[in-house]
A and B are shown apart, each in its own frame.
Chain A
Amino acid sequence: MDDCLNEKSGKNLIKQITRETGVVLHDCYQCGKCSAGCPMAHAMDLMPREVVHYMQLGMMDEVLKSKTIWLCATCHTCVDRCPNDIDIPSLMEKSRQEAKRRGLVAVKEVDRFNDIFMENVKLFGKSQEVILEGLYNVSTGHFIQDMENVPHMLSHKLIGIKPVMIRDRGAVQKIIRKTMKDKKKK
């Protein structure tokens, strides 16, 4: 009887998420305006509307396993048009963080990119497009992606090989360390 709705285990997590985001899930009456306006909907396995509905039902596992939470581009079109002001991007955000904690990353590339981006920032205090792209390609195995553009960039000095850094890199590192430490404690 694992499928009983009233025994779904996601309820506590959902409570926590709604508390942190201030989203009132039962306000959503499933009109689908979010999905219809979502630029990434075509690639999603769950419609944004369905994510909310799963959460209304307490079915958090389905949400955490979905590609949708990783494909959300956080463009806020959905919440801007939502008649009930459901902050879907924040729900996606929190779900993503939880999914990562549980090792359920459905779209690895997105997660890799974000990791590398932040590593980059941690290292230099600024993001380095060429290093970012390079590292990302190496780590995902997409060696040739966007490489056709590199000669153009180099020849027009759009990118440099030498990294640009900030002076007080320690300050940035501290910010990242502090906030991530916070994360682990939870």
Chain B
Amino acid sequence: MSVEKNWEPKIIAFTCNWCTYTGADLAGLNRMKYPENVHLVRVPCSSRVNPQFILRAFQKGCDGVMVCGCHPGDCHYATGNYFTRRRFMLMKRLLEYNGIDPQRFQARWISGSEAAKFRDTMTQVTAQIRELGPNSKFQEKWYQEGGPENE
């Protein structure tokens, strides 16, 4: 697949309302700058994120996917992110096993006060994915644009 001109990575981040989403708001309040490529989906808790959402995001054309929540021990719902941790440690490995580059799916703990960490993480992840180029793996667009004939 040829790289489109003016291609910009599309990154989706599932963020918990109490920590990372708040941290992102704080980054805004402090006028911190990070790339426009990151789009947040607000969920109550990182444990709300069904690993199937990740597959869907890749399928529909995201170049990078993130799941962010409170640090373990700080979950607003006490134990949610312990489940998150288990689920995505496994999912991440399964994705990599199926050929997804490790950088394309990442999970991070970012608290409500870690605006700088939020900015740095998003900047860094965007750069990594820009480096990797557009993702075609798992993407249905690949089919719509001709499928196997592309190869």
Direct chain A–B contact by Cβ atoms under 8 Å: no
A residues at B contact (CB < 8 Å) = none
